[in-house]
Structure 1
């Protein structure tokens, strides 16, 4: 419920804090006192259009904060959860308007878009006036309200789940059909590619090995020439190995006389001779292994170029060719198995569609039964509200299959006729200003427990009526206030007397400026206010007596 409204520098209000309680709160005051400013301020906090004219003259900006107390399980909190806005003990919607008309919006002091503020406001407060009404006038809300009135929430949820399951498989079937159609169109190409890659038979790491072979074959003559020169240096004349052996023999003959000084020299030269011999053997073997056959080079290049040409053709790296062949084969297998998989999807889709239709049609039948109860309940409320010639009806029309959706197979709308024999039509288009507010009141009384909006505001719902009709309006507002918080701006003493709480809006001059104020009334002050509403500016004894009668009758 709305707990507090704080207004700063809005039109005729300089600084004002208004506390609200649960039940029926009536706001009264003379014409022009500022009741509309209060509603405009509340609308601003709820995301209504900002206007520079709202900022009090001479001020740079104005602001409005609306603080709410909500139960922890109220559906509104889901809006904050979806926006990652932290919950707090209370909820505060705030709007700041600059003198140039620009505005900023906040929820729990976190900056938000005006669109989000408006969404939040619509979930918290519903304002009904003669010319500005929302909520029930929007046909989008009618289906949910009808389901809530008939306790059909679980079946509506089942219908939504069944529709989504059906549509998910339908999308899968359509995607499978498109993929299979494309695969069939590419089947001949795929078979050709698989055959081509099978013949090519690319191997893992083959490109790198072929490139290395090609490099060796291209430089074979240079390798042979260099190795031959090295061999000549090692073996020309007597050769390094022979010279080392001769040197060893000379040293070995005198080794005993050297008293061990030559042992390490002899050992080192002996190893050098051995390594030299091994080196010459390895050099000869490497020389013999050099391939100088140009046909071998041609074969290697032909293979390497074939692999690279295939990679370019398919726009992949050579290393990916083995896997590419596997992918092509998998696509071919999918073509062959596609008919079976597609048939299974079609059967599943048909079954899910049938299940949705059964659930939706059962829900539709229960909605029609619920609609009859709702229509009777609302029509019973119309006569006491001086709308006896009017008719309320819930219209339920079958949708074409193409228009079925997760809410079912029906189009649901609340419609009225204001005169006997006149055709039904949308409430907002058929009802006049005064009738509209009373229609909303009748609907709200019946749908109070089905609608999650915790605070309702009625602006002069009693306009143009009096006597028994005004008393009936007051009675129904009081009845409605047993389920939700109700704020009503009224000029009717019968409605004013019904309030659980009474606020009076007044206007006075303060330091040369006109300022609007709002304050709660005591029991004695309330009697005077009801008397003023009965008799006008001059309050008579009879008016006070009538006021007492009205207040005591509640």
Structure 2
């Protein structure tokens, strides 16, 4: 019966039929090692089977006592009794957020440190480019200007000669090309009156006269402008040389590429500033989240302090019941300076089997039998809080016998008296086995080259026989059978 354990959402999430009256979990393992999982005969993957099992079963395996040495397990016991899972979930979420922010901060700081090593050089390069101020197309313009300045005298002489030829200043009669064209136009104009067929030529010749006059004027002006200027030539040559040097230095081939490079460097330097801003933002975020996390941690601590007292009392009561009247069990809590995954509390279970010895960490002083009793006491305690429908103890009685085993059996029987909880005990001790309401016999058989494990439920007479075997060994005596009957009759 799983009604009342809020299992329906899990079943619906995994598209399983929800039958609260009965839940059968099954896993089949084939000879080749492959396995299949089932929930109420519906195939599921192992992850789903495990998810459901964790909500319904608490399994104490043969090596679970080792958990008592784990500080996280000890803290988990206190948290279970404190019953503040929602608060703990809020803290863990915030702690995970802080941890991720710290990781990003470290990464950002490392990246910034690497890039800051190049910052001075980048700024030097940018300052050099900004000071030079390359202009689009400047390299070609400078080459043309350098060529013109280098040949200024030859250019001036040539332009002057052309000007003279066009305007006639180089002839004795003062007639130049423009004058000849003008006279040609006048002659054609007279003929056109009687010979209209040349009207087109006349128009074209008129255009030529106008164009040549414009060209002559421009050449004359240009000839006047051209001067040999050594200072300007040196200035242009130096800028062209500097431009070429920058292009060579940065492995580019034009002024446009230098301009693009300057923008890229500017972007890199800007990203450094952005990285610094991001780092500062992360630091502020971590600081604010840490303040909030510490407030949550303080609430967790308050709940744990209260729960620790309950754990001490209830575990002590159970240990006294299991024949340890002089034992001391304490829950030590220390506050860590830094935030931890579950708060700021370090929980340690302290134990002493007798009052003459100061309590010390449980893992350092408890024997195997004492560890078994402490674990059972804790399981009995937490089962009241978790309300899991099934608890399985696989040889939790390791290291005990006789009277102690009987008292442990009594505690397990008390746990099973809860109508909503069943306890399954796998044991070799008759004192514990006898307290069961039902008994199953697990045995192995060899055959066909392999070993098979079987389980069968015992009827009343078989219960007596198997208990007698546990009491007397392979040969069952009547005294052993009578002892078995008495164990089965003993009240809890």
Q: Which TM class, normalised by the smaller chain length?
A: 0.5 to 0.7
Match of 2:169 in 1: none
Alpha carbons 2:178, 2:212 under 8 Å: kept: no
Residue 148 of structure 1, aligned match among 75, 80, 88? 80
CA RMSD of aligned residues (A): 6.3
Residue 319 of structure 1, aligned match among 225, 242, 259? 259
The whole-number CA distance in structure 1 between the counterparts of 2:24 and 2:323 is 30
Alpha carbons 2:434, 2:487 under 8 Å: kept: no
Alpha carbons 1:127, 1:457 under 8 Å: kept: yes
More deviation in 387-396 or 345-354? 345-354
SS at match of 1:420: coil
Alpha carbons 2:146, 2:236 under 8 Å: kept: no
**Deviation of the 1:411 alpha carbon:** 1.6
Does residue 429 of the first structure (1) align with residue 364 of the second (2)? yes
**Deviation of the 1:373 alpha carbon:** 0.8
Within-5 A mapping of 1:190-339: 202=133, 206=135, 208-220=136-148, 253=195, 255=197, 296-303=232-239, 318-319=258-259
The whole-number CA distance in structure 1 between the counterparts of 2:489 and 2:222 is 121
The whole-number CA distance in structure 1 between the counterparts of 2:346 and 2:131 is 63
TM-score between both structures, scaled by the size of structure 1: 0.56
SS at match of 1:519: strand
State the structure with bigger RCO (CA 8 A, min sep 6), 1 or 2.
1
**Deviation of the 1:381 alpha carbon:** 1.2
Match of 2:383 in 1: 448
Match of 2:409 in 1: 474
**Deviation of the 1:356 alpha carbon:** 5.3
Within-5 A mapping of 1:488-527: 488-499=425-436, 502-511=439-448, 513=449, 515-524=451-460, 525-526=462-463
Question: 1:444-496, CA deviations, whole angstroms, 9 ceiling, x for partnerless residues?
Answer: 11123666999765332234545554343234335556677755321233433
Larger radius of gyration: 2
The whole-number CA distance in structure 1 between the counterparts of 2:247 and 2:61 is 72
Match of 2:488 in 1: 550
TM-score between both structures, scaled by the size of structure 2: 0.61
Alpha carbons 1:462, 1:470 under 8 Å: kept: yes
**Deviation of the 1:357 alpha carbon:** 4.9
The whole-number CA distance in structure 2 between the counterparts of 1:519 and 1:332 is 70
SS at match of 1:448: helix
The whole-number CA distance in structure 1 between the counterparts of 2:240 and 2:421 is 83
**Deviation of the 1:371 alpha carbon:** 0.5
**Deviation of the 1:375 alpha carbon:** 1.1
More deviation in 308-317 or 379-388? 308-317
SS at match of 1:409: strand
Does residue 387 of the first structure (1) align with residue 324 of the second (2)? yes
Match of 1:410 in 2: 345
Question: 1:185-207, CA deviations, whole angstroms, 9 ceiling, x for partnerless residues?
Answer: 9999999999887765x37xx1x
Higher fraction of helix: 2
Alpha carbons 1:390, 1:418 under 8 Å: kept: yes
Distance 1:519 1:281, change over 3 A: farther
The whole-number CA distance in structure 2 between the counterparts of 1:509 and 1:173 is 62
5+ residue gaps in structure 2? 1-22, 167-176
State the number of aligned residues: 435
5+ residue gaps in structure 1? 10-61, 71-87, 93-106, 110-116, 256-262
The whole-number CA distance in structure 2 between the counterparts of 1:251 and 1:485 is 133
The whole-number CA distance in structure 2 between the counterparts of 1:281 and 1:496 is 129
SS at match of 2:453: strand
More deviation in 438-447 or 449-458? 449-458
The whole-number CA distance in structure 1 between the counterparts of 2:489 and 2:45 is 34
**Deviation of the 1:146 alpha carbon:** 1.6
The whole-number CA distance in structure 1 between the counterparts of 2:89 and 2:467 is 49
